[in-house]
Amino acid sequence: MNNSYDEIKKLLKSAREMTGQEKSLKEVKEDLIRKNILNEQGYEGAANTMGTPRPNVAADTEQEIEMDTNPKEDKQQAYRVSGGVLVMHGKNKGDLEITTEEKRAYQETMDEFVNEVSEMVDFYPMNVYPSSVEWSGKVIDQDLEFFFSIGETNGVYINGTMIRVDDDFMDFIEKLKIYYNKFKTKWAKVLGTRKKTQTDDEE
């Protein structure tokens, strides 16, 4: 995603325009495609409903996942880290490399989410851009998806259909909000370290 901030702004604007209107998912999808907000991507493996392609990886060991990229656009490289996928985005090979500390931070992020928010979760790939981090997944027992974003835009979002608002749901939302602050602190520090390393490399 080249201009993730602008794209998120467009998406939020479209969502506001559609609020209150009864549209099918197909109609909403067609609206988003027509407004150039949603681009369907051919990709091995199914895409989740938040729009992030899910790589099809069988091994549970750390390995690089080759991805096709358009040479005119930013490059990306995915890594399998203990059951999750971390996708690095950047303009050069150095931007696509990950450190042991970043692998550890990603592992801790998944473990902490399971311990503090929900054990029944299917994590989608985490995307690390030069100035932002985006992460999403499906919380199975709540039948909804979450989306965390830090950097150019900050926030926690949920996506679901006919969610029952009861005490369990409210407890879950509170846990999700509390955990987002922990996530934001951890990954803002990672972004800061990456920017400092890139600056040092350029000198």
28-57 pLDDT tens trace: 667 667 766 666 554 444 445 455 555 544
Query: Residue 203: inside a domain, yes or no?
Result: no
Residues 64 and 136 occupy one common structural domain: yes
Residues 20 and 110 occupy one common structural domain: no
The whole-angstrom separation of Cα 145 and Cα 123 is: 10
Which whole-number Å values give the CA distances from 190 to 51, 55, 136, 197, in the listed order?
Answer: 24, 23, 18, 11
- The string of pLDDT tens digits covering residues 135-144 is 999 999 889 9
Which residue in 129, 111, 130 sits closest to 121, CA to CA?
Answer: 111
Question: Domain range for residue 16?
Answer: 1-40
Query: Residue 101: inside a domain, yes or no?
Result: yes
Check pLDDT > 80 for residue 19.
Answer: no
pTM of the model as a whole: 0.62
Residues 99 and 147 occupy one common structural domain: yes
